[in-house]
Amino acid sequence: MTILMKIRPFTKSDEKEVIKLWFKCNLVVPWNNPKSDIERKLKVNPELFLVGIIDDRIISTVMGGYEGHRGWVNYLAVDPDFQKQKYGKEMMRVIEDKLKQLGCPKINLQVRDDNTDVIEFYKSIGYYDEKVVSLGKRLIPDEEYDIQKDY
């Protein structure tokens, strides 16, 4: 039986718990400092940074963004103890609704190509491989992040 999850906007006091969740879900890579990503997000569409809570514990996150042309989704995370119980699907439904209310016509997201389980999850909720190449260029390098030191 799936337990009801409360979804609300991220608050600064959530930071430690959110970063620990992202590490637990293998979302943190050396070239993206999660503290910096959170600080940047809080400057742009902070209302689109959501957390999912069960029993006062953050079990899920999602970051949405919209720049007037396309919406983006980043940091969808569901604690492994709660995966495959439709919490990820619910987080996506809520962020999609919020983006649609802003007039967003389409959402883009990126998944590492070897993360086949996540690719299948997104396909199961209507996303598809657009057969495009994703290119990136780092403009501001992040400091390395050490969870042991910082937490």
The tens digit of pLDDT for each residue in 64-84 reads 999 999 999 999 999 999 999
In terms of residue numbers, what domain contains 122? 6-129
38 located within any domain: yes
CB of 71 closer than 8 Å to CB of 99: yes
Question: What's this model's pTM, rounded to 2 decimal places?
Answer: 0.90
In a domain, 118, yes or no: yes
The label of the residue with tokens 């809570």 reads 53
CA distances from 137 to 31, 113, 141, 144 (A): 12, 18, 10, 18
Count of structural domains, the chain:
1
Does any domain span residue 151?
A: no
Query: Is residue 69 assigned to a domain?
Result: yes
Q: What is the pLDDT of residues 108-117, one digit of tens each?
A: 999 988 999 9
- Strands 6-9, 107-109: pairing kind: unpaired
* pLDDT for res 29: 83
35 inside domain:
yes
